[in-house]
Chain A
Amino acid sequence: MNKKDILAGEHFLNGDVACAEGAIAAGCRLFAGYPITPQSEITETMAHRLPTIGGFFLQMEDELASIAAVLGGAWGGMKAMTATSGPGFSLMMENLGLGIMTETPCVIVDVQRGGPSTGLPTATSQADMMQARWGTHGDHEIIAYAPASPQEMFDQTIKAFNQSERYRQPVLVMADEVVGHMMERVVIDPDKIEIYPRRKPSVPYEEFLPYRGGADMVPEMACAGEGYRVHVTGLTHDERGYPDLSVESQDALMHRLIGKIRDNADQIIEVEEENIRGADVVLVTYGIAARTSLRAMELAEQKGIKVGMLRLITVWPFPLKEVRKIAGAVKGIVVPELNLGQIVREVERAAAGQCPVRLVGHAGGGLHRPEDILTAIEEVA
């Protein structure tokens, strides 16, 4: 990859554009997408940029095709991404499952908007968080980021690519309309960008088992035309990749697919802690809701309440241990999110009754009023 293809320097970018630039910086040279707001600028930026740097931009017939082309592109040896919103994310659930089952590295960006259905096509929400976790059928684990600024749209898209290669799984960037459309300073230093390369086979064809996990349960990947004659299927398969519909094979495969994320969760989970030590109340929040919460923290401090924040950078896997520890040390936890109660359920599960947990929900279309978050803080303080 050529460093000159990266948009270096300081820029004033909207979050969607920063996301596209992050993908390019991560080495993504194949983008397949379908027009939908509020992610349009990601697709448009890729259409504008990729042809100039020898990448491929594909506008597909729908989101079903977009994610399918991304999976195909990854097996063709490229880093590939798609971006969508609202109904498009629903359409991608089918092949998100294929990506998990076939252990295909790629990135899916969801710039969330209000739903269900057509909902609020141009206005924000964080209501796809549980769909991200459980939207595709069958048992599985998910890695999902929640950027809170254009800078994070850039940085976390790169992280998403790295984790997708590291764990060989599609990784989700769960942005929202406000983060996608806000314009802020984004600083890009190509020399500081670290790239996790694809895990290529370390043994010859005769010895290679495409679905045997290594010490970290993640297998090496042989792409099309590399001489490894791999069979890739969405059916339950053995270490050779061959369909094996037995209870034993399903058991071994599911334990490895789930285990490679669950057992490595400590390396994947990323949170940002602010003023947690000695806090009376901690806000557990993510994405754009965390930024509104900053104002609520200031208001609470003016009233003499010590408030900390645990911001989830990765929402999935959920930082169970971190939240459980906080719950044992504070008077209460407040969870602001732009839905009527999704991640709060995980927080309650983690808190396990150690302290009260209050949701500050919002149906979407706008952001929280800091005063509403303050009220919840005062209730539990």
Chain B
Amino acid sequence: MMKRVATKPEPKVVADVHHPLEHYFRNERLPHIWCPGCGLGTSMSCLAAAFDHLKLDVDDVSVVSGIGCSGRLAGYMRPDSYHTTHGRALPFATGLRVALEKTKPGHKVVVFSGDGDLFSIGGNHFIHAARRNIDLSVFCVNNFNYGMTGGQVGPTTPLGSKGTTAPYGMFEHPFNLPYLAASSGAPYVARWTTLHVHRLQQAMEEAIQKRGFTFVEIIAPCPTNFGRRNGLPTGLDEMRYYREEAVIENFADPKDAEIIPGKPFIVGTFVNEDKPDYVAIYEKFVADHFGVTVK
């Protein structure tokens, strides 16, 4: 049995070079725990690049995550970050965002979590946060399985795909996340893969800038647990799959955004509309009726 050690050895400094995005990271926490070929590192880089491009100060944004591989992202990013309970990132972020309207208006709240966290155990919270139009930027890394716990199937696992709790293939239909988000009322819905890094970064920027409940699905590889059981054993195989089958189509009907293995699937912006968010409606009402400000 491997011996647990309390602290990691200090990394040896080989050259005094700095990464242009390092101020967004807790460098003392890196390297991360994610597997080779995993899409989470790419997604995290895109998020930091989006912060940087928006000139978002590290103290003007908070990152909230749930539990799972994606949930660990909060622990690697330098802003105030909250690693909550499984499925509860959105209601936690709801309270945080609402409170910040009083304590620090303009502060951004980003929720970054996985498909199982946001859509299985947290599914109810997702539809309600979208319905309320809480001003949150929600980024969901969809790798079609529960990676951290060993490759169990989840609510986005395609019909017939294999996982450790579906050794004969998935018997259930999956969620179509853009369709679910759009029909729940989200005013911004997009989907990209970790192959489309520039478009993903751009979508994250749009989502962060837009006030309201904004949602970006990030299709990402999990070669360790999902890919190798489903004919895509390396990260590169997944990238090839995205290059061959991802079809860019903006403002497609989200109903058509189903993902069926081996078949083309749509990526792009599905919804981008203006809609007053919960806090804006609330603030206006209390100002008009009671002459008070929440700030």
Residues of A within 8 A of B (CB): 29-30, 32, 51-56, 58, 60-62, 64-66, 68-78, 80, 94-95, 97-98, 222-235, 242-249
Contacts and interface: CB of A to CB of B under 8 A. Distances in A.
A73 B104 CA distance: 12
Q: Report which residue of B83, B92, B95, B99 has the largest number of chain A beta carbons within 10 angstroms of its beta carbon.
A: B95
A260 B101 CA distance: 32
Given A65-B91, A72-B93, A52 B99 contact: no
B292 A52 contact: yes
A111 to B, nearest CB: 21
Q: Report which residue of B5, B74, B91, B295 has the largest number of chain A beta carbons within 10 angstroms of its beta carbon.
A: B91
Interface in B89-114: 90-104, 107
Nearest to A60: B91
A243 B75 contact: yes
A232 B75 CA distance: 8
A54 B292 contact: yes
Given A65-B88, A76-B95, 9 more contacts: A56-B98, A58-B95, A71-B84, A72-B98, A98-B85, A226-B59, A229-B80, A231-B75, A242-B75
Contacts of B104: 77, 224-226
B91 A227 contact: no
Contact of B88 (A54, A68, A235): A68
B91 A69 contact: yes
Contacts of A247: 4
Majority DSSP secondary structure for residues of B touching A: helix
Contacts of B98: 30, 56, 58, 69, 72-73, 76
B84 A234 contact: yes
A80 B95 contact: yes
B149 to A, nearest CB: 15
Interface of B: 4-7, 26, 28-29, 58-60, 62, 64, 74-75, 78-85, 87-88, 90-104, 107, 124-125, 128, 282, 285-286, 289-290, 292-295
A198 to B, nearest CB: 11
A223 B94 CA distance: 15
A32 B95 contact: yes
Contact of B85 (A51, A226, A234): A234
A310 to B, nearest CB: 38
A229 B79 CA distance: 5
A95 B286 contact: no
B128 A225 contact: no
B128 A76 contact: no
Given A76-B100, A231-B74, A69 B92 contact: yes
Contacts of B289: 51
B81 A51 contact: no
A94 B85 CA distance: 8
